[in-house]
Amino acid sequence: MAKTFTDWANVGLDQRHLYGQYFVNCTKGLLPIASAERLEDKAIRSAVSLLFAPGERPCAGQVRALAKNSDRFAISLDPSADGGEEEGWLELLANGMTFDLVGLEPKPPADVPASVHTFGAAAGFDPAAHEALLIQPGPHLAAGGAMFPVVRTLAMVAAALAQLGNARAVAWHPARAVTNADYFRRSVMSWIEGGAFPGLGLAALVPTENGGLKSEGLFLFTGQELLMTPEVVSDRAEASKIALRLLDWLVENGAITQSFAFTVPSGETLRLEPADNSGIVEVWRGSH
């Protein structure tokens, strides 16, 4: 059954706590300002990294042990099986799709991706001070790496691998977001099982220069980003709550092709409206 816009009860207590921290940052102006770059100029890449303290990256054997007890993924190709040399990579199979995992010990780590948003991590957490494993769709999925089933499965595989004991954080490349590993695992698995979309982790919300609020990372799931106009963001914390509900609704229902009105829990009427050929869905007050 599809969730309604006001179905906020599916958000777990841990997510509400994290959202609360996010709303505090909103009201204090601690969030980065969104740039004015065009969406079509951005390279959207389906990839995710697991971050570990230096010297704590796992080897193939640790991933094999995890796979044996997992119903989320299996290992489809392992160059180190049967006594072969450790090559630092594995091919993983999930939902009939393969994903490449690279950066395993004893080979060099993958590059740590650039990040802007941090969720649930300890104060002062520095992604650049960590070593990374990289997970991305296999070569046969190169043309479809941004398709929803592929992206959803990629998130699920990353959440399963986040159980590796020393994982500190998960970096979701399309949103430039770094999330505490345990929170990422719980929130993504909850989504996979029918819960709310992890709007802080698989996406992010950033203030715009003119006082609005814009998503980053939603484009990978729907082909559009959400833009709340300044008139809707007079109360930034409340606007962020509405935006997170909308991210969940949009991921479940797909791209918006025509405008329509909806009512938020406060009783106010807002309008969701696609901006022509821009990859943007705007939120306005009333009957704009």
**Least confident residue range of 35-49, 189-203, 223-237, 263-277:** 35-49
Query: What does pTM read for this prediction?
Result: 0.85
**Using one digit for the tens of pLDDT, what is the confidence trace for 175-207?**
999 999 999 999 999 999 999 999 999 999 999
Q: In the predicted model, what is the mean pLDDT of residues 212-241?
A: 93
**Using one digit for the tens of pLDDT, what is the confidence trace for 173-183?**
999 999 999 99
**Using one digit for the tens of pLDDT, what is the confidence trace for 127-138?**
999 999 999 999
Residue with the two structure tokens 């089933």: 149
Q: Nearest to residue 169, comparing CAs of 145, 197, 133, 199?
A: 133
